[in-house]
Chains A and B, each alone.
Chain A
Amino acid sequence: MNYMNKSGIYIHIPFCRRKCSYCDFYLVTNLSVIGKFTSNLRNEIALSSRFYQDVEFDSVFFGGGTPSLLSVDDLAAILKTIKDEYRISDSAEISIESNPEDFTEDNSKLPALRDIGFNRISLGVQSLIDDELKFLTREHDSDMAVRVTQRALKYFENLSADVIYSLPEQKLQSSGRTVDKLIELGVPHISAYTLIFESNTVLNKLRRKNITLPNNESLEAGFYYFITEKLLSAGYNHYEVSNYSLQGFESRHNMKYWDYADYIGFGPSAHSLFRGKRWNNVRNIILYNNLLKENRLTYENITMLTAAEKQNEFILCGLRAQGIHLLNFSKLFGKNFSEIFVNQTDRYIRNGFAEYTSGRFRLTEKGYLLADEITLAFLN
């Protein structure tokens, strides 16, 4: 469904030293298979390339897991395979997720990552309050996070920090201190998430035992407005429910998801959307390795989306981010968004939840917080 944007490539690196209590991503902590994985991943990337010869990619995103756990050589080899096999724009955004502990002072990894081609880095800061970091079972402390952020900014102008807030028993001011510090450090992109109690996490087990409970809706909303207000007044754009950036620092890769552009994923559990079809790779590294050893791709859940499903997804993604692109909507679905949804749009605009702006139907700050509820009104 490549109607306007170039496409994106996602690489899932499923390794962490250990799993954080809130995390539900697919990862393993057995680092001894990294070598085998890297060669299989490169094989997968190469095997798949024949399907995408006519496609240009302007974003490559290494996510995880912890991609920064891999050696510079491994990362460079993977990047080289991608560049050899795919048409990657010269100006492509090449992004890597990382944890602060992978960049201690004596480590030359930060400049090395830049040198092998990465031009954006995302740091898993999460908080700059030590007690909160302990609660989140993170390995770094706030000092280390601040030092690494400062150093990383020397090599990567385009840097993003992840923040998790609305923690149980967290004070509003405390969430504010983390954000204030990141603003002060000059971090141009911040992904700030309210804590989610995902099923199959340690955190959710604690909830079931009534040990740790999520904040109520009202309190979460309070945190959200507080954080958002701080970032807005510091000049950040709020361009997706949980994402804020200075002008020009929006995550190009993540925008692919929300603008409903095509993306293909490699590595176990990676998801793809390409020309109206969705699939994912197996969520099991052993199976992944075994299949690729025999040069077999590991697709699962291949789904051809119906027109109605596509439209629903287009809307649900658009409303979370910069809005429904009206021209793209009519190109894709042959319908006029503002006509078919006139009742809904009138109502939400009248009540201050949404607006028409720059060719898009977009939610306001007030609307973002109710994006799921509002989306319901637009679904088939």
Chain B
Amino acid sequence: MINSKIRNFCIIAHIDHGKSTLADRLLERTGTVESRSMTKQVLDDMDLEQERGITIKLHAIQMNYASKSGEKYILNLIDTPGHVDFTYEVSRSLAACEGALLIVDATQGIEAQTISNLYLAIDNGLEIIPIINKIDLQSAMTEEVKDQIVDLLGCKREDILTASAKEGIGTDEILEAIISRIKAPEIKNEKPLRALIFDSIFDTYRGVIVYLRVFDGTLKEGDKIEFFAAGKHFEAEEVGILKMERQRTHMLESGNVGYLIANIKDVNDSKVGDTIVDTVNRASEPIPGFKEVKPMVFSGIYPIASNDFENLRESLSKLKLNDASLTYEPESSVALGFGFRCGFLGLLHLEIVQERLEREYDLAIITTVPNVEYKVYKTNGDLILVDNPATMPDTTVIDRVEEPFISSQIITPVEFIGNIMKLANDRRGVFKNQHYIDTKRVDLNFEFPLAEIIFDFYDKLKSTTRGYASFDYDMKDYRKADLVKLDILLNGEPVDALSSIIHRDNAFYWGKKLCEKLRKLIPRQMFEVAIQAAIGHKVIARESISAMRKNVIAKCYGGDISRKRKLLEKQKEGKKRMKQVGSVEIPQEAFLAVLSIDK
């Protein structure tokens, strides 16, 4: 049976191509929200997202639409994040849909970032509706962009819609295309319940609110349910659909999108991609595609003032409520005192957490150099996992070290192949395969050590391909590697928070660059500061910061004293943002110096 009245879809677009603006127009046109009550872009409600132009957390909204033929439809728009760190979450949102709007900026043409999500959508069997946006702009190249889309999708030219979301042009045609082209969901109310979790948020009063798509059966309040992968049991307390606010409907039928409240206390129980089944009439198989999301990148987060430790714990636990992929556990550093080792999906995720801690929770923190998790086999046969360079055992007790590898897909215009090959080579990439998508575009497959891509690979890739290449990756396996721990010593004292684990071949260059960088970042002190990079006991690079020679104003008489005191008190405040390690004062940026080193 087909429920011809429901359409589930998402929007795929490059940053700034107008996804949020189009979403706003759809919400207005369907009367879901009054235009004057709209903040600029309804779907992104975290400040940070609006600033970065990236939708970080998923949301969904239901619209009621009366078509030109007079039929009434229910449209569920599911929003998707747009960065490689969140590929898995995107894939689960796409899995909840039957169709996708592909938005391309008429002045920019197709950009590579879109392509990876587009292929995900095609993989998930979604109907793609291509839309060229911003056609009202002077610099629009609508016909050329149509050519590109035809090339990419193999669709017909007349299938491509044109719009200006800003001016509200083309909104009706898009709505009509959604109902005419996107498949209605298959209705299987008679089957045992299977619902896909594509997101969840934490509400202080209600606990976890699960966003889901019902595939098979119906979800009713009072149902005894099980979260398949999590193995947790709950009772459905409240079920409904997602408008601008939650709207209770007591049940959700097969094909629909909505929310579930079930007295779930821990956001970890509601895993993206998990399947909700009925405990009594239990479906035997979950919806395929679930993956346990594991942090890939680890970093220490420390309060600058040691008495902020409890505040930091509190703040992390609050962030964690809405962010199941964030992990943290207490650790301590000789240099930095007590803090937390945190796990992130990727570097962007790390930056977001860091910024939210500083901005929303007003904490002064130090983030240490991110790294991956290594498998260290000791000579006595023990296997330990090392996600912090400081805890790397002594070389004498290590039999071998293995590091995580990823399999990556880079889609690029052919003229950039040379640049990408060079970049891949610099990052210890292993070229596996290539495949021409068309005459202009090629799909390159490399395997990389994850450690080589977590810093700035994505930025480098974009700059070396003028923004055209797209990048996507999956965990592959662990491989043996010749890795060494590089220590940084300040005046002879190792600073554990500055240690890193790197490939032996890069150690010399890396150590030298790191010392140079630290020399620039650490301000002059009252004594000379020697910066050394060492592997074990062997110093491989050295720099020094000469002592401050003079810091005193020549005159200080009656009228100068108060002014001078105020000036010094202000400087003292500035110093509080530095961390004293041994006798050396180190600014926050220094702990991330590694990140800004060019490989």
Contact = CB atoms under 8 A, between A and B. Distances in A.
B558 interface: yes
B552 A320 contact: yes
Contact of A242 (B527, B555, B558, B565): B555
A317 B556 contact: yes
A200 to B, nearest CB: 14
Contacts, number: 94
Interface stretch (A35-43, A137-145, A147-155, A372-380): A372-380
B380 interface: no
A204 to B, nearest CB: 15
B568 A375 contact: yes
A309 B565 contact: yes
A257 B558 contact: yes
Nearest to B567: A372
B565 A313 contact: yes
Nearest to B527: A351
Contacts of B381: none
Interface in A350-380: 351, 353, 368-376, 379-380
Contacts of A241: 552, 554, 556
B569 A379 contact: yes
B526 A269 contact: no
Residue of A241, A272, A312, A317 ringed by the most chain B CB atoms within 10 A: A312
A278 B562 contact: yes
Contact of A370 (B526, B554, B557): B526
Q: How large is the interface on B (under 10, 10 to 19, 20 to 34, 35 or more residues)?
A: 20 to 34
Contacts of B571: 376
A373 B526 contact: yes
A371 B552 contact: yes
Nearest to B546: A218
A124 interface: no
B559 A269 contact: yes
A62 interface: no
B463 interface: no
A242 B568 contact: no
A376 B548 CA distance: 14
Contacts of A376: 568, 571-572, 575
Nearest to A254: B557
Contacts of B526: 351, 353, 370, 373-374
A193 B549 contact: no
Given A263-B558, A271-B558, A372-B568, A196 B553 contact: yes
A224 interface: yes
Contacts of B549: 217-218, 220-221, 369
A370 B548 contact: yes
Nearest to A278: B562
Given A273-B558, A376-B572, A369 B552 contact: yes
Contacts of B583: 347
A252 B554 CA distance: 19
Given A313-B561, A316-B561, A220 B550 contact: yes
B552 A370 contact: yes
Contacts of A218: 549-550
Contact of A193 (B554, B561, B568): B554
30 contacts: A193-B554, A194-B554, A196-B555, A220-B550, A221-B549, A221-B550, A224-B550, A241-B556, A242-B555, A257-B556, A257-B561, A263-B558, A265-B559, A271-B558, A273-B561, A280-B559, A312-B565, A316-B556, A316-B568, A320-B552, A320-B556, A351-B526, A370-B526, A370-B548, A370-B552, A372-B551, A372-B568, A373-B548, A373-B551, A379-B568
| Across the A-B interface, the 7 shortest Cβ-Cβ residue pairs | A221-B549, A271-B559, A193-B554, A371-B552, A373-B551, A221-B550, A271-B558
Interface of B: 526-527, 548-559, 561-562, 564-565, 568-569, 571-572, 575, 583
Interface of A: 10, 193-194, 196, 217-218, 220-221, 224, 241-242, 254, 256-258, 263, 265, 269-273, 278, 280, 303, 309, 312-313, 316-317, 320, 347, 351, 353, 368-376, 379-380
